[in-house]
């Protein structure tokens, strides 16, 4: 049975998967820093920009979740599934996620963050004159 509104669920799910994406970005940063890359700077800058944007978005999501008294708790994880408890307004809703589906959601967020980080700065009017 669904106890959370679609808006509450979307907010909590975005927070959950964005948090996982931040973990992945931080792990990848470590792999590049300690890996055999010849030129690390551009990759590290991209990952740092992605992490900065993700952390800022997660901060905003957390604030909104606090206002609405929404929480997400991981209950358990096995080889195939992870179970999360979404709590809002005294109501609880358990969701099971197939781990490969989680991976796809996190990858989509990482791609979204990468596309945003790679967007060139908007040219200033003075730059064209």
CB 79 within 8 A of CB 99: yes
pLDDT of res. 124? 45
Calculate what percentage of the chain has a pLDDT beyond 90.
84
Residue 126 has pLDDT above 80, yes or no: no
Alpha-carbon radius of gyration of the chain: 18
Digit-coded pLDDT (tens) for 21-52: 999 999 999 999 999 989 999 999 999 999 99
Residue 56 has pLDDT above 80, yes or no: yes
For 46-77, give the DSSP string.
HHHHHHHHHHHHHHHHHHHHHHTTEEEEEEEE
Running DSSP on this structure, what letter comes out for residue 37?
A: -
96 — pLDDT class (breaks 50, 70, 90): very high
127 versus 57: the higher-pLDDT residue is 57
Residues 119, 19: Cα–Cα separation, whole Å: 22
């Amino acid at each position: 049975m669904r106890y959370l509104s679609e808006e509450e669920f979307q907010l909590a799910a975005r927070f959950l998967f964005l948090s996982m994406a931040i973990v992945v970005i931080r792990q990848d940063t470590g792999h590049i820093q300690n890996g055999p890359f010849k030129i690390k700077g551009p990759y590290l800058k991209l990952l740092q920009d992605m992490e900065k944007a993700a952390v800022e978005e997660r901060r905003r999501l957390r604030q909104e979740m606090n206002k609405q008294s929404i929480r997400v708790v991981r209950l358990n994880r096995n080889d195939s599934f992870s179970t999360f408890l979404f709590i809002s307004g005294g109501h609880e809703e358990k969701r099971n996620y197939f781990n490969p589906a989680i991976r796809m959601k996190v990858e989509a967020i990482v791609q979204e963050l990468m596309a945003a980080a790679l967007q060139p700065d908007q040219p200033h009017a003075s730059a064209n004159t």
